[in-house]
Amino acid sequence: MPLLKKKRVLIVDDAVVVRKTLSDAIAADSALEVAGTASNGRLALAKLPSLKPDIILLDIEMPEMDGLETVRQLRKIDKHIPIVMFSTLTEHGASATLEAISLGATDYVTKPSNTDMEGTFQKVSQELLPRIHALCHIPAASPAPASALPPALPVVRRDQARPRLAVPPQIIAIGVSTGGPDALARLIPSLPADLPVPVVIAQHMPAVFTTMLAARLTAKSAIPVRECKSGEPLSPGSIFLAPGDYHMVLSAEDGTIRLYTHQGPKENFCRPSVDVLFRSVAHVFGARALAVILTGMGQDGLKGCELLQSSGARIVVQDEATSVVWGMPGFVARAGLADKVLPLDQIGLEIVRATGDKLLKKEPAKAANATV
């Protein structure tokens, strides 16, 4: 079997020690090679034609040409090459990262908060390299022998599900990861102000970033988006975002449904986890829920969708063509759990249709192609 051509990575960062650490981590990956390095955006743009990288790792704060301006210029040259921002875990870093995504960056990874290069190396190995593999469509390694694999969980197919109730859903639950900020910036503004049900979202993001994301989505949407505050009641006319590094769950108490957050163990290496949220939605709402799985790496949300589907809930997933990474939605679709597989620009309309035909007569308050 012929060896696959290595994917070429261009590293753009003004810190020599960071460039060295990233280069070492990438060189240790048999599917990747360092195409070259640059200390700022201007140099990176000059080297681009000769290096021909498959993906670009880009710092935000650099001299001469920073990461934001570099993204602007890169997208004039190439609209499709993946760009991963390497940002600091600060309020400024979160704001700049979301701005970079609105300009066309594909994804981001946060740097460790200290200057420990061993920590940086581990961070790169655990978080950045899998993203590079996913964004460059590098095939997964050969599966382990059947004897080494854990027993597969039984998948409940749509035709085995409990009959669904002939009523509109009372909640919309959304799970999303890689490519999520841009996907949400296109979906959420397409929802009308009088959407009669609440929306809950688990987006894989660290603390601080979710605060910024909620604010940016609110500024462009007819429905306010806010981070969930533990203990608050669930109410229509609001969109609740799980805070970074916290799981979000629903609980029915004395006729009131409340949202709670906690820092229980990560699931699927994630906190917030889509599975954690979806399980609670299934327990509280059962068939009266509509679940939506958007672009993202991995399979967080798959088990939650199995439980929702077995309760009779409806499930919609984003299609492969419009997903940055067809991991999370792909797993759900291939498991036979999705009622519909739709392009991103049709999911808002599907939510409106499901929650009540009367809303179809009204135009969404904001354009669906808004950016974060």
**Residue 334 contacts residue 184 (beta carbons within 8 Å):** no
Cα angle 228, 233, 234 (rounded to 5 degrees) comes to: 75
Which of 39, 95, 177, 221 is catalytic? The answer is 177
Which of 39, 59, 204, 339 is catalytic? The answer is 204
Q: Which amino acid is at 220?
A: K
Tokens of 168: 């509109």
Q: What is the DSSP letter of 300?
A: T
User: How far is 371 from 189, CA to CA, in rounded Å?
Assistant: 9
133 part of the active site: no
Tell me the residue length of the chain. 372
- Counting beta carbons within 10 angstroms of the beta carbon of residue 141, is it exposed (0 to 12), middle (13 to 18) or buried (19 or more)? exposed
User: How far is 163 from 145, CA to CA, in rounded Å?
Assistant: 38
**Residue 196 contacts residue 223 (beta carbons within 8 Å):** no
Which residues have C-beta within 8 Å of that of residue 108, sequence separation ≥ 6? 84, 85, 86, 87, 97, 100, 101
Which of 59, 275, 300, 319 is catalytic? The answer is 300
Q: Which amino acid is at 335?
A: A
Three-state secondary structure string covering 154-195: CCCCHHHCCCCCCCCCCEEEEEECCCHHHHHHHHHHHCCCCC
- Helices in the chain by DSSP H: which ranges? 16-27, 41-51, 67-77, 91-103, 117-123, 129-135, 180-187, 209-220, 274-285, 302-310, 328-334, 344-355
Q: What is the DSSP letter of 127?
A: I
| Residues catalogued as catalytic | 177, 204, 300
